[in-house]
Structure 1
Amino acid sequence: MRTEVRWRLCWENELQLSDHVELAEFFRKTYGPTGAFNAKPFEGSRSWAGARPELRAIAYDSSGVAAHMGLLRRFIKISEVDQLVAELGLYGVRPDLEGLGIAHSIHVMLPVLQELGVPFAFGTVRHALQKHVERFGRYGPVTVLSGVTLRSTLPDARLDLPPTRIDDALVIVLPVGRSMCDWPAGPIIDRNGPEL
């Protein structure tokens, strides 16, 4: 039987300490099975891993947080072009609700993306999640790009690591206020900040 969830859209400054504590626990339990290192950023009451989102879509059910997606407006550089995007990330679904899917999160976020007037939503995922992200094409035209190099800064400056991280992830682009033909072509995307 499918669990009933209710979605809450909230700006970051609307969250209370109790919200951060609950979200941090959710992320530790959700990301922990993929590797202890993946749960580490969420120690204590920290409910973000890299860049802090400005808006969150949080699904709740009778057991607490069921799913989460964050949004952050930013300029990314695609080759030499500065492009405004709403970066979507910090995505998670509680393991017992795997079928809830990223498509539901996008569906909840879509009206907000349109209200914000951003030309594109942008995000990255591991190659293993390609089939999952292709499914949310039913909510709008979604393009999955591969072969793009992504550069991001680390969330914290560390003496033992270089300040920039390079990834070969899948890039997801969802046209919101513009057409996909307006997306700049280029093999390199610079976030000029940490990943959401």
Structure 2
Amino acid sequence: MRSEVRWRLCWENELHLADHVELSDFFRKTYGPTGAFNGKLFEGGRSWARARPEFRAIGYDSRGVAAHMGLLRRFIKVGEVDLLVAELGLYGVRPDLEGLGISHSFRVVYPVLQQLGVPFAFGTVRHALRNHVERFCRDGLATMVSGVRVRSTHPDVYLDLPPTRVEDVLVVVMPIARPMNEWPTGTIIDRNGPEL
């Protein structure tokens, strides 16, 4: 049985305080089980973790927020190539809906990406989500790029940490205005900012 989900596509400045509070609660419940610190990022009505999205796709059902994906346009550097992308992140599905196929509803973001005119959408996920991401890639909507590490800045300055971190994560690329064979090669992607 699938949950009936309606989607709200909105720019960040269209959200009200009540929206942030509701999303904050959703993220604490969704990310909290993956590690105590992950849930803490969303305390106090904060509805973003590191970089703040500029656009959101929010799925609602009769119980409230059911799913979420954020989007932020930015330039990244893949190897030696500067590249405009729409970074996708802040992905979440309410735990009681996992496995019901709701993640495929994120296709609602695709027309927005086309309107923005970005050549590619780009995102990263933990290796634990590999099986989930492979489902997206089977139908050709996205491609997992292997052998690439991602360098990001910390969202804040910490005196006991270097300003950047390099992660071994799964890189997912969606061709939007350019074909996948035009994605640059390289073994490191520089976000030049914090992850979404």
Q: If the TM-score is normalised by the length of the shorter chain, which range does it land in?
A: over 0.9
* Cα offset, 1:139, TM superposition: 5.6
What corresponds to 1:130 in structure 2?
130
* Cα offset, 1:149, TM superposition: 1.1
User: Does the CA-based 8 Å contact 1:103-1:135 persist in structure 2?
Assistant: no
What corresponds to 2:66 in structure 1?
66
What corresponds to 1:116 in structure 2?
116
Cα distance between partner residues in 2 of 1:137 and 1:181:
15
> 1:181-196 residue pairs with structure 2 within 5 A?
181-196=181-196
Secondary structure of 2:41's aligned partner = helix
Cα distance between partner residues in 2 of 1:24 and 1:139:
32
What corresponds to 1:103 in structure 2?
104
Aligned-pair identity in percent equals 74
> 1:30-179 residue pairs with structure 2 within 5 A?
30-99=30-99, 100-105=101-106, 107-137=107-137, 140-179=140-179
Deviations 1:105-137 (A, max 9, x none): 1x1100001111110000001112112112123
* Count of residues in correspondence between the two structures: 195
Q: Which runs of 4+ in 1 moved over 3 A?
A: 137-141
Give unpaired runs (5+ residues) of structure 1: none
Cα distance between partner residues in 2 of 1:101 and 1:145:
24
Cα distance between partner residues in 2 of 1:101 and 1:129:
15
In structure 2, what residue type is equivalent to 1:122? Answer: F
| TM-score, structure 2 normalization | 0.96
Cα distance between partner residues in 1 of 2:139 and 2:17:
33
**RMSD of aligned residue pairs (Cα, Å):** 1.2
In structure 1, what residue type is equivalent to 2:16? Answer: Q
In structure 1, what residue type is equivalent to 2:47? Answer: S
User: Which segment is superposed worse, 82-91 or 131-140?
Assistant: 131-140
| TM-score, structure 1 normalization | 0.96
Q: 1:126 to 1:71 in 2, by over 3 A?
A: same
Secondary structure of 2:38's aligned partner = helix
Give unpaired runs (5+ residues) of structure 2: none
